[in-house]
Structure 1
Amino acid sequence: MSVLLFGVAKDIAGVPVIDIPEHITDVAALKAWLYNSYPALQQLKSLMIAVNREYAGDGQLISSDDEIAVIPPVSGG
C-alpha cells in the first residue's frame, strides 16, 4: 500500500511516496507506524491523513484501493 507525502513530511521521509505494511488497516495504525518509522514527524504541530481526498479520523479504515496522503501543517500569510 502506498502513501503520498507532502510538504515537510516529504522532506522528513526523503521521498514523495512510501510503501506501508499490509497489516495497517486504519488511520491510527498508520500514524503509529509513521511516527515509529520517521520520529521527526512527531515534532510537527499536527499531521493530517487524507483518505480518498477527504480528511480522515483515527478510526477511518484504509485499504490498498484507497488514495492515502500525509498532509503536514500548512503555513500561509
Structure 2
Amino acid sequence: MSVTVVFLGPLRDMAAQAEMEVPAPLDWQGLLAAVGPDVADQLREARVNVACRGKVLSDKTALDARDGDEVALLPPVSGG
C-alpha cells in the first residue's frame, strides 16, 4: 500500500528525484516528513500547491492520500 509523490519543476531538482513511493495513507505531516527538509520548507509556502488524485487542494494541510493515489507537488509558475 503506497502513495506516489511527484515532484515538479524546481522541486524535482531539490528532491533529486522525479517521484517517490511512500506508505499509505499519507497526510500533511507525513508528506512533510517524507520529502525532506528543503522540499518541506517550500511546501509550507503559500505559493506552492499540492494536488491529490488530479485535483489541487484548496487546503493542502487537509491532504488525505490513500493507497494508489498520486500526490503532485506544484511549484509556482513564472513566465509572461
**Where on the TM-score scale, by shorter chain, does this alignment land: which range?**
0.7 to 0.9
- Structure 2 match to 1:51: 52
How far off its partner does 1:34 sit? 4.9
Aligned residues: 74
Alignment CA distance shift 1:55-1:40 (3 Å): closer
TM-score (norm 1): 0.73
Take 2:75 and 2:21, find their aligned partners in 1: how far apart are those partners?
18
Cα distance in 2 for partners of 1:19, 1:38 equals: 17
Normalised to the residue count of structure 2, the TM-score between the two structures is: 0.71
Question: How many Å apart are 1:60 and its aligned residue?
Answer: 3.1
User: Gaps spanning 5+ residues in structure 2: where?
Assistant: none
Match in the other structure for 2:79: 76
Which string of whole-angstrom CA distances, capped at 9 and with x for unpartnered residues, describes residues 15-56 of structure 1?
111222x26532x22442256x14255257532110011111
Of Structure 1 and Structure 2, the greater strand share is in 2
**Equivalent residue number for residue 4 of structure 1:** 6
